[in-house]
Structure 1
Amino acid sequence: MSNDAVEAERMHPEGPLGLSAADGESPFTSQSPSPVPSEGPCVAELAPALDSAKALLVRSDNHTQPDLIAETRRKSFQKQKNVVSPTQAGDSLRRYGDEVPTSSRWTQHKKHFFILSSAGKPIYSRYGDEAKLSSFMGLIQAILSFFASDDDSIRCLNAGSHKFVFSMKGPLYLVAVSSTGESEPQLRQQLECLYAQILFVLTGAALTRIFETRGNYDLRNLLSGTEMFLDHLSGAFQRGSGYFLGAIPCLRMSSRLRQKIGNVLATGTPKSLVFGILIARDKLVTLVRPKRYSLHPTDLHLVMNMISSSSGFRSVETWTPVCLPQFNNRAFLHTYVCFLGTDLCLVLASTDKDAFFEMSEYKQQISQGLEITGCVEAIDDAVRADPYSIVEVEVPSLRHFIYKSTTLVQYTEPSLSAPYTRKEDRRRLLRAYQYALERMHARENPARVIFHATPTEAVMSYSTPTHEIYASFSPLVSKAAAMEGIAGLQKWIKREESSIFVPSAPVFW
């Protein structure tokens, strides 16, 4: 076993989980895979990909220089970004890069993220060109240093409708400035995700080494070309539920189909494989893993964010080192990414930097296995049917809901329909869910049931040891009627649980 594998095992001891959560929630029990016949593996003849893979795996022994793995990968992503059309969905090509702090467009944004070094060097800004924000970043650094000189730290400032949230992560300072109404814990959670995204590219060990050697190093030299990941992630906070829930969405399909897919992935797994993940439209289909390893939702979110940040991943087999911070923030896993179809993406994480062709061969085996077992067409049908409609639940006055399984660390929700067809209406609903979640998880006087009625909707949240429900009803519904609706929703979830969640994941070794 490689040194990386030994280190990974030390960081994540053996356990029965497929997804792990910080609160001790126990996702994914294990199931034993049954063998699936295949026609035998074949290797794609990809000489250019081999040259690229070899280049990516060169590492510098000179600690005064940036890590060449990260540097080469940055150039790869930069090239990929430049050849992709800006109009293609999913690509974030710094569309706000021409904005400056003195422009009305820049000040009209309701939420900003800033990342800078402890020396005041700008690293990232959600809006505008970092180079034009040097004085602004310097002001942030001065404020934080003022408090640090008194052996103190500043966490949050309120200024009118704006909330300033600060997070100090070693040599990096992260700041959120928001007028969206989100709370300090919610904004801090988003800053944690952005920091994790930086570690995803560099590793915590490389980040520490760089700034120990050169305290005023310009980290943009290494992050250039990967800003699309940070941009896409920043936007996803406004669109998706998974980040504030700390859970993963799953593609709805029959349990029998999911088991067949899992069996295909678990057959003939390479020795260096750590995780094999199948994703369709940013939703988990299934995953395979060694028995002693687990995967945190944050790490899976980062993988999904990387894939959806650029359409360039759809056209080539990609081999790149990434760091999964919750799994092991000090080392890379070498990751193979390939689309098996229009919407179906395979991600294979390995401890072996030379395993590109082995993973490519394994991909061919998986592709053949899915064809032989008839899974490809069934997956396409599942993708076309997703997301499901609220009408299927058959609960009067229920407009929308989110159901989170705290034991599986997964969630499900129907498509957004009237009256949530406009962006502002969807964001209002998201804020209402965030407010309910914060009330339920408050340190003082947490509430198990919350009912909050407004002129636009009535939102009820309900918590048990195994699940949480956030539901939106007509504004005229009573609390008693809403509780009836929650009971009806629970019955529907119970019937459909095996299809809307991934209750078990195949394991090997």
Structure 2
Amino acid sequence: MHSSDNRGSWEFHPEDTLTEDTGNFPSTLAQVNFSGQKKAGSAVDVPGLAYRNEDIMSESWRKHRKHVFVLSEAGKPIYSRYGNEEALSSAMGVMMALVSFVQAGGNMIQSIFSDEHTVVFLQKGPLVFVSVSATRQSEQQLRSELLHVYHQIVSMLTQASINRIFERRKNFDLRRLLFGSEKVLDGLLDVMDSDPSFFLSAVQCLPLPSSSRDALSHILQKAITPDLVFSFLISNNRLVSVVQEKTVLEDARLKPSDLHLLFNLIRVSAFQAGEIWTPICLPLFNPDCYFYAYVAYLDPPECTVCLVLLSTDKEAFYAVAECKRKIEEAFASQNALQWVANTQLYYVNDIGVANLKHFLYKPSKVLDHYRQMPQFTWSLASLKCSPALLRSSLRNQLSVNSLNCCDGSKRKRTVSLFVNSQDTPLPCTPAGAPQTDRIHQTLDFSLSCNFE
């Protein structure tokens, strides 16, 4: 039965697509177009892939600062960030034994602390998630990461399908359905180490004049068909525009986390030319149903501008492809892609504040009648400035600006400083933070700065 109320479709059941000869699920992330022809291109470099077959007895495996494991209630391994899941089956069995032992006493295990490590557990239905960390991250932050991993799995299978599978067979090997999709989870964990958007529950927008953004949105709006629910225009992992079909229920608001998961799927997919038509679930919008995503780059061979169209009808490929053609024609007639290509990302020194090296800013209040998603902006480049001027400069620019970042180690430090501040009374500076680091938070905004 096909059901569509603009919340998704119940029609696609991944457990029904197991192939008889191999028992494997033909992954929705396979790099094929609608006709099944393979597409050229290369995926983003995902560091986790290099560790897929790492020896779990090696010193290098033990030295990783954060491990993430996923297993079923029956103790069956599903995923490991480092090393092969099969080789870790005994270790995962011990993890499940700890969970079961505490459950037998009428409790639920949350975390274990030692001098050097924090072990955090998260149980979602029939799945158990474990993080073993030697970082400075708090229990709350690690659990948030595990929740994102769970949502990424749901985005590929749906919550209803996962529950239905394990109701039928408690010892089911979920790797059969996730076959070929490990890189999606690897990519998610890697990007969460350095991208604050996950912890902030906010998105970065590409800086554009409001007139240009409105024109792009108008083109997307005109191309909407009855079963097309969302249209996204993305450039280099930044949101350019999103259009939501008017009949989408008011209480079914799109959440930033769903957008992050969608961005991650696109980021790690190995295609440049052509198009992808694939089922995808938006867990916070509706965890039990699929949308059908049409994904295509509009500017090959650069492949920086990506169009994503979400439909509730799995048979709507040709209708959605026609929408994409109309959008391309409208963009070409107005030379609209050049607006995106000519966008200049601003640096901290463009603001003109003394001695400021980098900052991160997020408004706490979002005007609901504009149906805006929470946004943030940040930079790690050198600059000269004062927080008061920074606040006034950013308030009027946030919706149309985002910032460049520098090296990964500084990026991770800023993320760590900011998310640590969420666990303490505000305004504040985290305990142990260098004197040059300052975090200020009010009812209206949060600001994290680092001065020379």
Q: Which band: TM-score by shorter chain?
A: 0.7 to 0.9
TM-score, normalising length: structure 1:
0.75
Task: Give, in angstroms, the shift of residue 204 of structure 1.
Answer: 0.5
In structure 2, how many angstroms separate the alpha carbons of the residues matched to 1:120 and 1:454? Answer: 39
Contact between 1:8 and 1:327, CA under 8 Å: does it hold in 2? no
In structure 1, what is the equivalent of residue 241 of structure 2? Answer: 286
Cα 1:288–1:172 change in 2 (3 A) is same
Contact between 1:452 and 1:458, CA under 8 Å: does it hold in 2? no
Alignment gaps of 5+ in structure 2: 367-372, 384-404
Query: 3-state SS of the aligned residue for 1:400?
Result: strand
Contact between 1:74 and 1:225, CA under 8 Å: does it hold in 2? no
Query: 3-state SS of the aligned residue for 1:248?
Result: coil
In structure 1, what is the equivalent of residue 307 of structure 2? Answer: 346
Task: Give, in angstroms, the shift of residue 378 of structure 1.
Answer: 1.1
- Matched to 1:307, the amino acid is I
In structure 1, what is the equivalent of residue 328 of structure 2? Answer: 367
Aligned residues: 412
**Pick aligned residue for 1:396 from 354, 370, 376:** 354
Task: Give, in angstroms, the shift of residue 318 of structure 1.
Answer: 0.4
Task: Give, in angstroms, the shift of residue 265 of structure 1.
Answer: 0.5
Alignment gaps of 5+ in structure 1: 12-56, 440-445, 475-509
In structure 1, what is the equivalent of residue 225 of structure 2? Answer: 270
Indicate the structure whose relative CO is greater, using CA pairs within 8 Å and at least 6 residues apart: 1
In structure 2, how many angstroms separate the alpha carbons of the residues matched to 1:154 and 1:411? Answer: 34
Question: For 1:1-400, what aligned pairs fall within 5 Å after superposition?
Answer: 3-5=3-5, 8=8, 71-74=25-28, 76=30, 89-91=44-46, 94-291=49-246, 292=249, 293-312=252-271, 314-341=272-299, 342-382=303-343, 385-386=344-345, 388-400=346-358
Query: 3-state SS of the aligned residue for 1:113?
Result: strand
Task: Give, in angstroms, the shift of residue 182 of structure 1.
Answer: 0.1
Q: Provide the aligned C-alpha RMSD in A.
A: 2.9
Task: Give, in angstroms, the shift of residue 299 of structure 1.
Answer: 0.4
Cα 1:63–1:96 change in 2 (3 A) is closer
Deviations 1:380-406 (A, max 9, x none): 011xx22x2110111112111111123
Contact between 1:78 and 1:225, CA under 8 Å: does it hold in 2? no
Task: Give, in angstroms, the shift of residue 374 of structure 1.
Answer: 2.3
Contact between 1:100 and 1:133, CA under 8 Å: does it hold in 2? no
In structure 2, what is the equivalent of residue 432 of structure 1? Answer: 417
- Matched to 1:282, the amino acid is N
Task: Give, in angstroms, the shift of residue 75 of structure 1.
Answer: 7.5
Pair 1:409-2:377 in alignment: no
In structure 1, how many angstroms separate the alpha carbons of the residues matched to 2:143 and 2:14? Answer: 34
- Matched to 1:468, the amino acid is S
Task: Give, in angstroms, the shift of residue 371 of structure 1.
Answer: 1.5
Cα 1:362–1:62 change in 2 (3 A) is closer
Deviations 1:325-348 (A, max 9, x none): 001111111110001112000111
Contact between 2:357 and 2:450, CA under 8 Å: does it hold in 1? yes
Contact between 1:63 and 1:209, CA under 8 Å: does it hold in 2? no
| Larger helix proportion of the pair | 1
TM-score, normalising length: structure 2:
0.84
Cα 1:437–1:100 change in 2 (3 A) is same
In structure 1, how many angstroms separate the alpha carbons of the residues matched to 2:92 and 2:445? Answer: 42
In structure 1, how many angstroms separate the alpha carbons of the residues matched to 2:12 and 2:408? Answer: 45
Cα 1:120–1:394 change in 2 (3 A) is same
- Matched to 1:434, the amino acid is V
- Matched to 2:316, the amino acid is A
In structure 1, how many angstroms separate the alpha carbons of the residues matched to 2:201 and 2:256? Answer: 6
